Amino acid sequence: MAIFSHYSVMLKETIDGLNIQDDGIYFDCTAGGGGHSLEIARRLGQSGRLIAIDRDETAIAAARERLHEYIDKVTFVHSNFSFAQSIAVSLSLPYINGAVIDLGVSSYQLDTAERGFSYQQNAPLDMRMDQNDKLTAYDVVNGYDETSLIRILRDYGEERFAPQIARRIMQAREKGPIATTAELVEIVKQSIPLKAQAGGHHPAKRTFQAIRIEVNGELDAIEPTLRALTGLLAPKGRLCVITFHSLEDRIVKQTFSSLSAGCTCPPSFPVCVCGKKPVIKLISKKPILPSNEELRENPRSRSAKLRIIEKI
């Protein structure tokens, strides 16, 4: 099994964006291997507190080991970040001063073959970020009907050959279950014209992304979590969100736009009657992108975008 490793994308930009107070309370909602958590903990004083959250038990164990010098300042929580509100309640936290969410799948999850995330290594179809969850990639690939498979591949993978891939999956299932990542990769390759496979990304990239999102319910949790975290933030508290594909970034952008909008009355109204006021301000009106140096060090960061807001 691979050692838990996860390159913390735009680490400096994220930590700077949090504007950390040494006596503040912070959530790392996707602790991973502890990269962001470590830098937050280093900046906290005696009364500061970090809540390190991850749905992957292996990540929590790795973060606990990495942050052993700061263990008195850190509370580790094995949970989905969508439960941020209830986590705050359970820890008797009336507010937090900042939070970070890194929505990317970790390098450990990609590189550990038996987790079934990678289209470059053969393994059982799994893709669960939390090994205690019931739904697996095997269940999706072998249990969903053709219409549902097309929807997932189109909506979550933005795969233009979704109907062809779904049809080929259904045909393969008639001979027996599709059990491994290698089998799925071969099915995808058979479904996409060779001309369309030339250059660019691996032909199975979009399919694997789509199934992973479905298995882990990744997109559904983003907007309610952002709203919950914004509600928890103290005035001038910061929220930093790192996304890795357009679907995630669109949700983050739209949610932040809504929270920063204020009055929604028609322009023709002489005075505001809705009474709505902005909840946040955008610290980065446009997303922050990885530096050229970071791109050289970690090519996986090329699609990353960082957005930062501050509670009013």
CATH code of 282's domain = 3.40.50.150
Confidence of residue 264 (pLDDT cuts 50, 70, 90): confident
The pTM of the full predicted model, rounded to 2 decimals, is 0.91
Whether residue 5 is predicted with pLDDT greater than 60 in this model: the reply is: no
Whether residue 160 is predicted with pLDDT greater than 60 in this model: the reply is: yes
Of 150, 181, 216, the residue at which a domain comes to its end is: 216
Rounded to the nearest 5°, which phi and psi values hold at 38? -60, -45
Helix 181-191 / helix 162-173 crossing angle, nearest 10 deg: 130
Of 197, 216, 235, the residue at which a domain comes to its end is: 216
The whole-number pLDDT of residue 6 equals: 52
Dump pLDDT digits (tens) for 235-247. 999 999 999 999 9
The whole-number pLDDT of residue 3 equals: 47
The whole domain housing 41 covers: 11-108+220-311
Q: How many domains does the chain have?
A: 2
Domain CATH code at residue 135: 1.10.150.170
Q: How many CB atoms lie within 10 A of CB 102?
A: 26
The amino acid occupying position 44 is L
Check whether residue 133 and residue 68 sit in a common domain: no
Instruction: Find the range with the poorest average confidence among 64-78, 135-149, 258-272.
Output: 258-272
Of 216, 238, 256, the residue at which a domain comes to its end is: 216
Smallest Cα–Cα separation from 251: which of 57, 132, 118, 101? 101
Check whether residue 42 and residue 191 sit in a common domain: no
Check whether residue 143 and residue 189 sit in a common domain: yes
For the chain, percent of residues with pLDDT exceeding 90: 85
Check whether residue 143 and residue 283 sit in a common domain: no
First to last CA, the chain: 45
CA gyration radius, the chain: 21
Dump pLDDT digits (tens) for 88-128. 999 999 999 999 999 978 777 887 888 999 999 999 999 99
Check whether residue 197 and residue 124 sit in a common domain: yes
Dump pLDDT digits (tens) for 173-208. 999 999 999 999 999 999 999 999 987 889 999 999
CA dihedral 93, 238, 100, 210 (to 10 degrees): 110
Domain-embedded: residue 93: yes
Residue 41 to residue 48: CA distance in whole angstroms: 8
Domain-embedded: residue 131: yes
Residue 24 to residue 44: CA distance in whole angstroms: 7
DSSP per-residue codes, 140-187: HHHHS-HHHHHHHHHHHH--TTHHHHHHHHHHHHTTS---BHHHHHHH
State the average pLDDT for the chain: 94
Q: How many CB atoms lie within 10 A of CB 65?
A: 11
Dump pLDDT digits (tens) for 11-37. 999 999 999 999 999 999 999 889 999
Query: How far is C-alpha 185 from the chain's CA centre?
Result: 23
Check whether residue 230 and residue 303 sit in a common domain: yes
Check whether residue 103 and residue 228 sit in a common domain: yes
Check whether residue 227 and residue 268 sit in a common domain: yes
Domain-embedded: residue 209: yes
Q: What is the mean pLDDT of residues 248-254?
A: 97
Check whether residue 127 and residue 164 sit in a common domain: yes
Residue 222 to residue 37: CA distance in whole angstroms: 20
